[in-house]
Chains A and B, each alone.
Chain A
Amino acid sequence: MSEPSTETQAAKTASAPPPAAHEGHGHEDHGHEAHDPIHAANPHLAHHFDTPQQQFDAGKLGIWLFLLTEVLFFAGLFCAYTVYRSMNPEVFVYAHYFLDTKLGALNTCVLLISSLTAAWAVRNAQLREQKMLMINIVVTIACACTFMCVKYVEYSHKYHDGLLPGHNFQPKEQIWELKSFRDKHPEAAEYAEKLAKLDEKKAEAPAGGAAKPSEGKAEEKAEKIERPTEEELEPLLNAGLVGPRSLDPSAHISRPRMAHVFFGIYFFMTGLHGFHVLIGIGIWIWMLVKAAKGQFGPTYFGPIDFTALYWHLVDLIWIYLFPLLYLIH
């Protein structure tokens, strides 16, 4: 093992610890301090690793395996998104008018900048640039908090506007009242408004006709005739609000069927991502404490590197979420 040619091999095999550590006293920790020069020289080298390199490589492989499972974890949600969007494209067109692209873009930039500071922090740790390391971790945490604040603003906005999943989907503002929609499709906005009034009338009709069933039926028939045909819906079709498959007379034509499912997907995807950001903030604070103790240097920077890798993955997921949810054409 003392020959240079075999030493790298020996370093990689966990079964061959340095002889000093082996003889006499099994694997007691105090034994390492006194007799194992490598562990004595590296206070952050765990006793089950032989060298800092081995410890770092093992950790790196571990974090990559974890990131792999994270990708597969989010894959389920992306699958739900893909299937639902291919079935109901008009729902996504409809719902994206309720999302604020500016806030989404702001959050994208904030996360990208935090990714830079995270990658920079790894460099600082490798080079033992203590001060810059602390600054970069603090900036990363600040960016993460900014991201969560913007998310809070978005979520509370959605909550107040009744844009919630399932039964709670009761939009206070209608699509034709949204500036983003009006600017883009003024004709369709007017048309949708007209249709909505029609829907309202229709909703009142059965209630009025309940006393006299025969009259009510006649009224309903009249309403059905009044309903627009497919050609008449052209402005809405052009605006992408009505899919050719969603011409259901019983549904509100001014709002696509199952629009609420979009907000289920939206809240679940961004919520799970936000949860990852929160966990990331926690880990970065932990790293800040470790960095403040001056633990990181050329032979021990694994934790910073692995946290940064996790952080980049969170960024990666947002890179896909942003266009998929906010930038629908």
Chain B
Amino acid sequence: MSDENPESKDNGPASDPEGSVKTTETTPTKAEAEALHMLAKGKPDEPTKNHRHDHGGAPHAHDDHGLAHTMPIPLLFGVLGALLVLTIATVSVTSIDLGHTGNLVVAMVIATIKAALVCTFFMHLFWDKKFHTVLFLTSVLFLILFLSMATADRGEYQHLVDEYRAQQLQVK
């Protein structure tokens, strides 16, 4: 499933008119990547030593279909800002009393928002193949299963622990 990426739709037709004769598979991706490079720099770059299929230096229409998506700098700093604000929030919310579980839930919700920000943007999952998101969420699913099973099991035997402790107290 990871094989079916947007490339099969986008690259073929996009580079068709410009590409002269295609003998290899690299042509679209490499050309796109070079175009991305040129676009980002704002000027045509010196051709790489391995330039085989030159398209005349004309930038392509697409700017985000190299090997992978490129993160814009403002977005990078925006995400960092949000993460720092959330860190301050989670520290300051500790001084407000919401009860033992209340504070824990708030802290975990904030941590999860932070984690989601890191995954979606810093880890490129927003633009990446959805399969990677599925993979990662699978691990999270099993983490949750693991924790909830352990907690449920522990709760189930709590009365035994309590009885044992009470006994120990009586012996003393």
A-B contact list, 10 entries, CB within 8 Å: A18-B25, A40-B50, A53-B67, A89-B100, A120-B71, A245-B162, A320-B111, A322-B111, A327-B107, A329-B98
Q: A60-B128, A115-B80, A329-B104 are known contacts; what are 17 more A-B pairs with Cβ within 8 Å?
A: A38-B25, A68-B139, A78-B147, A79-B146, A82-B147, A108-B87, A116-B122, A123-B70, A126-B67, A127-B37, A298-B33, A298-B67, A299-B67, A309-B123, A312-B118, A312-B122, A319-B111
List residues of chain B with CB within 8 A of the CB of A18.
Answer: 24-25
CB pair B2–A57 under 8 Å, yes or no, is yes
Residue contact A122 to B132, C-beta cutoff 8 Å: no
Bound complex: CA A40 to CA B123 (Å): 31
Bound together, the chains give a CA A71 to CA B119 distance in angstroms of 13
**Other-chain residue from A101, A249, A299 in contact with B91 (beta carbon distance below 8 A):** A101
Instruction: Give the CA-CA distance A195 to B5 in the complex, in Å.
Output: 67
Could you tell me the distance in whole angstroms from the C-beta of A81 to the nearest C-beta in chain B?
Answer: 9
A312 / chain B contacts, CB cutoff of 8 Å: 118-119, 122-123
Answer yes or no: A280 CB below 8 A from chain B CBs.
Answer: no
Q: Which residue of A lies closest to B82 (CB)?
A: A112
Interfacial residues of chain A within 71-86, with CB under 8 A of chain B in the complex:
71-72, 75, 78-79, 82-83, 86
- CB distance B5 to A57 under 8 Å? yes
B interface footprint on A1-29 (CB within 8 Å = 1, 0 otherwise) = 11011011111100000100000000000
A250 within 8 A of B: yes
Contacts A4-B16, A305-B68 given: A83-B110 contact, CB under 8 Å? no
Q: A residues within 8 A CB of B43?
A: none
Query: Is B61 in the interface zone, CB < 8 Å from A?
Result: no
A36 nearest CB neighbor, chain B only: B24
Residues of B within 8 A of A78 (CB): 143, 147
In the assembled complex, B136 has its CB within 8 A of some CB on chain A: yes
Known A-B contacts A41-B52, A53-B67, A126-B66; the reply to A299 vs B29 at CB < 8 A is yes
Q: From residue A233, how far is it (CB to closest CB) to chain B in Å? A: 15
Tell whether, in the assembled complex, residue B66 and residue A75 are in contact, meaning their CB atoms are under 8 Å apart.
no
* A228 on interface, CB distance cutoff 8 Å: no
B58 contacts the other chain (Cβ, under 8 Å)?
no
- Chain B residues near A72: list those with CB within 8 A: 139, 142-143
* Contact (A5, B12) CB under 8 Å given A12-B3, A71-B139: yes
Q: Is the CB of B22 within 8 A of A329?
A: no
Q: Contacts A57-B2, A126-B66 given: A298-B132 contact, CB under 8 Å?
A: no
- For the A-B complex, the count of residue pairs with Cβ-Cβ distances under 8 Å equals 214
Complex CA–CA separation, A245 to B160 (angstroms): 12
Q: Least Cβ distance of A270 to chain B in Å?
A: 16
Report B33 CB to chain A, min CB distance, Å.
3
Q: Mark A108-128, 1 if CB is under 8 A from B, else 0.
A: 110011011011101100111
A308 CA to B29 CA, complexed, in Å: 22
With A and B bound together, what is the CA distance between A112 and B82 in angstroms? 10
Question: Considering the complex of A and B, which 6 residue pairs feature the smallest CB-CB distances, nearest first?
Answer: A298-B33, A329-B103, A41-B50, A11-B25, A323-B107, A71-B139
* Chain A residues whose CB sits within 8 angstroms of the CB of B76 once the complex forms: 116, 119-120, 123
Cβ B66 vs Cβ A298 within 8 A: yes
Contact B87 A82 (CB under 8 A): no
Say whether A2 contacts B84, CB under 8 Å.
no
In the assembled complex, A52 has its CB within 8 A of some CB on chain B? yes
A64 and B135 contacting across the interface, CB-CB below 8 Å: yes
Within the complex, what minimum Cβ distance (angstroms) separates B46 from chain A?
10
Residues in A with CB closer than 8 Å to B7 are 8, 53
With most chain A CB atoms within 10 A of its CB, the pick from B11, B68, B169 is B68
A119 touches B110 (CB 8 A): no
A299 and B110 contact, CB distance less than 8 A: no
Which residues of chain B are within 8 angstroms of A65 by Cβ–Cβ distance?
135
Q: Which residues of A contact B5 (CB under 8 A)?
A: 57
Assess the A75–B146 pair: CB atoms within 8 A: yes
Q: Does any Cβ of B come within 8 Å of A56's Cβ?
A: yes
Alpha-carbon gap, A301 to B146, bound state (A): 36
Nearest-neighbor residue (CB-CB) of B88 within chain A = A105
How long is the Cα–Cα vector from A120 to B162 in the complex, in angstroms?
53
- B146 near A319 with CB under 8 A, answer no
Q: Is B41 in contact with A127, judged by CB distance below 8 angstroms?
A: yes
User: Are the C-beta atoms of A298 and B36 separated by less than 8 Å?
Assistant: yes
Complex contacts, B107 vs chain A, CB 8 Å: 323-324, 327
Asked whether A323 lies within 8 Å of B122 as measured between CB atoms, the reply is no
| Interface contact A327-B25, CB-CB below 8 Å | no
Q: Which of B25, B29, B118, B162 meets A319, CB within 8 Å?
A: B118
